[in-house]
Amino acid sequence: MLKDRQDAHGHEIYDYLNGKGGYEIVERDDGYIDASGAARDYFAEYKDWPSHQKKAIQYARGRVLDIGCGAGRCLLYLQQKGLDVMGIDISPLAVKVCKKRGIQNVQVLSITQVSSKLGVFDTIIMFGNNFGLFANRDRARWLLKRFHKVTSGKARIIAESGDPYQTNVPEHLQYHKRNRKRGRMPGQVRIRVRYKKYVTPWFDYLLVSKNEMADILNGTGWRIERFFASTWAPYAVVIEKER
């Protein structure tokens, strides 16, 4: 759980919910700094989602766990469709925002705390590039095997990632090269998020190509069912249990 001074994203979306504006800043460990999208994107209604997300979310079924649920846009959409949903996030303020928006089951938990104590799930959602929460290849494979044990036989993971190679920005290409020299995946970024006076701890976030994702899944009991492309680097994926 993040401490209040670390909860940059939580403060951003809580401010937006209360009629205030602002942008979060993403700082990478090589000094590269960029502003993220507007906070309103975390509150977008289904009609305003990118087409690849609209298509992928239709594969959600049964009991759903949204990992890194943020402001709860996926949870609200699925809850309104009558699905049994649960959200988790390491941000206490994100959880507070979700509850204020009418989401019934949401808790402050990290991805590594997903266990059988939460019950059995039929769908796991990892939107907003949240495949990145796996952090690195080894942790991804460990967590995927854990998810295999806490999901039903017909379970699906509906995730989003961004292909790190879909860029010609010199700083990104240099970062890929730096990662390779350090034995890291090219799209394994180490970042922290800032908003006003709030700043998260440094954490790893994993961006992968479709081929890299398939390699990570191999041997974990999961397989790629289908991809949904976007007009740029982000893409959605439906991952199913191997039968």
Kindly state the average pLDDT of the residues 27-32.
Answer: 98
Contact predicate 166/233, CB 8 Å: yes
Ordered DSSP codes for the chain:
---GGG-HHHHHHHHHHTT-----EEEETTS-EEE---GGGGG--GGGS-HHHHHHHTT--SEEEEET-TT-HHHHHHHHTT-EEEEEES-HHHHHHHHHTT-SSEEE--GGG--GGG--EEEEEE-SSGGGGG-SHHHHHHHHHHHHHTEEEEEEEEEEEE-TTS---HHHHHHHHHHHHTT--TTEEEEEEEETTEEPPPEEEE---HHHHHHHHTTTTEEEEEEEE-SSSEEEEEEEE--
pLDDT reading at 218 higher than 80:
yes
Strands 63-67 and 84-89: parallel
Average pLDDT of the chain? 96
Count of Cβ atoms closer than 10 Å to residue 80 Cβ: 11
Domain residue limits, the chain: 50-187+208-241
Tell me the per-residue pLDDT of 113-137, one tens digit each, with 9 for 90 and over: 999 999 999 999 999 999 999 999 9
Tokens of 8: 């940059």
R_g of the chain, CA atoms, integer Å: 17
Arithmetic mean of pLDDT, 66-93: 98
**CB-hemisphere CA count at 13 Å for 215?**
9
**Cα separation, 10 vs 91, whole angstroms:** 6
241 token code pair? 């249990």
| CATH T-level fold of 50-187+208-241 | Rossmann fold (3.40.50)
* CA triple 207-114-186, angle to 5 deg: 15
Distance between CA atoms of residues 67 and 163, nearest Å:
20
Q: What is the pLDDT of residues 195-209, one digit of tens each?
A: 999 999 999 999 999
C-beta of residue 7 within 8 angstroms of C-beta of residue 89:
no
Length reported for the chain: 243
Residue for token pair 């090269």: 177
Q: Mind listing the pLDDT tens digit for each residue in 172-202?
A: 999 999 999 999 999 999 999 999 999 999 9
pLDDT at 194: 97
On the question of pLDDT at 164 being above 90, the answer is: yes
Render pLDDT for 3-28 as a digit per residue (tens, 0 to 9): 999 999 999 999 999 999 778 999 99
Q: At 143, list the tokens.
A: 């967590």
Torsion of CA 107, 110, 116, 118, to 10 degrees: 10
